[in-house]
Structure 1
Amino acid sequence: MKKVIITLIFIVYVLILLGFVWFLNPEDLGYNTVNTTPFKTIDLYIKGLEQGTLNIYTVFLNLLGNIMLLLPLGLYIVYMWPNINVSSVMILAILFPAMIEIGQYLLQEIGYSHRAVDIDDIILNSIGFILGALIMKGRS
């Protein structure tokens, strides 16, 4: 029964997650943004904080927010499959964030979404997924 309840909570989480990353549209900048240079956006946030052009809240929300976004997914995967091996966790940690960004790109291409597509989101989301998996592994 416990796994059923956790799975139902997880389904709600996934629906909210997809609604947020695919269907909640931020302000239309008038152009589509795609960043394929690793750490470029992270560096811009850090430099913006250092130069005073960005506040700590904005940097914190964007960087830590992207890490926290998939942490529950890492928790859930290891909870449901406690014997999952490290290589499978690593593959899933890259695959899930990549699917989110591909979805954002496709929605951008059909003119529905204005969300940025960013390799740094994949990096940060992967870190969150792995942290979630490590937390759950540490419990067992």
Structure 2
Amino acid sequence: MAIFAVFALYAAFLLKLLLFSRAPGSERSINLIPFASIAEYAFSHSPGTERVAFANVVGNILIFIPLGVYASWLRHRAAARPTMFTVASVSVAVEIIQGVFAVGASDIDDVILNCVGGLIGMLAFWLLSAILRKRSRERTAMAVFSVLSMPVWVYFFFIIRLRM
């Protein structure tokens, strides 16, 4: 039960961060050229860009690591492809919603970075599975991980004001 409760809290935070942190109609931009935003960050020399670039690149990766872990756990016997399809589908759906409702920048680079995060989460779960070897131990480890991460998600969801 703890695993599903924390997953729901994580999903609510993800929705708040990605879809409800900006007013509808506040921002609309679309980039369909892979690595264009990342290249712009890498080669820009304007002041303050480094911090924004780091937050965007690392943030897009980090925020999808838990989805990779939970998707792998929920789809235990699934191969990598269906799990990554789930992560990519969530990311693409978020980018489409951001574009339609103008609540963020729709960027293919975000999808790529989100998938990297999901892949890291999936690989971390597979490593955990290989170490623990039994589904009951995996469930226990996921419950402990979920309970330990709950204060973090509560803090992010209720305490931090997300205005971007």
TM-score, normalization by structure 1? 0.83
| Structure-2 residue corresponding to 1:42 | 38
The separation in 2 between residues aligned to 1:117 and 1:82, in whole angstroms, is: 31
Q: What amino acid is the match of 2:12?
A: L
SS of residue paired to 2:56: helix
Q: 2:66 is matched with which residue? A: 72
Amino acid aligned to 2:41? Y
Q: Distance in 1 between matches of 2:20 and 2:49?
A: 26
Q: Is the 8 A contact 1:35 1:118 kept in 2?
A: yes
Identify which of 88, 95, 114 aligns with 2:89.
95
* 2:3 matches 1:11: no
Alignment match, 1:139 = 128
Aligned length: 128
Q: Displacement of 1:56 after TM fit? A: 3.4
Shift of 1:52: 4.7
- Letter of the 2:90 counterpart: F
State the partner residue of 1:127: 116
Instruction: Give the match's secondary structure for 2:76.
Output: coil
Query: Does the 8 A contact of 2:41 with 2:50 survive in 1?
Result: no
* 8 Å Cα contact 1:71/1:129 also seen in 2: yes
Name structure 2 gaps, 5 residues minimum.
130-164
TM-score after normalising by structure 2 = 0.72
Q: CA deviation at 1:77?
A: 1.1
Give CA-to-partner distance per residue, 1:37-57, whole Å, 9 cap, x none. Answer: 110000011112xx2534532
Is residue 106 of structure 1 aligned with residue 95 of structure 2? no
Which amino acid in 2 is paired with 1:116? Answer: A
After the TM superposition, list the runs of 4 or more consecutive aligned residues in structure 1 that deviate by more than 6 angstroms.
Answer: none
Gap runs ≥5 in structure 1? none
Cα RMSD after superposing both structures: 1.8
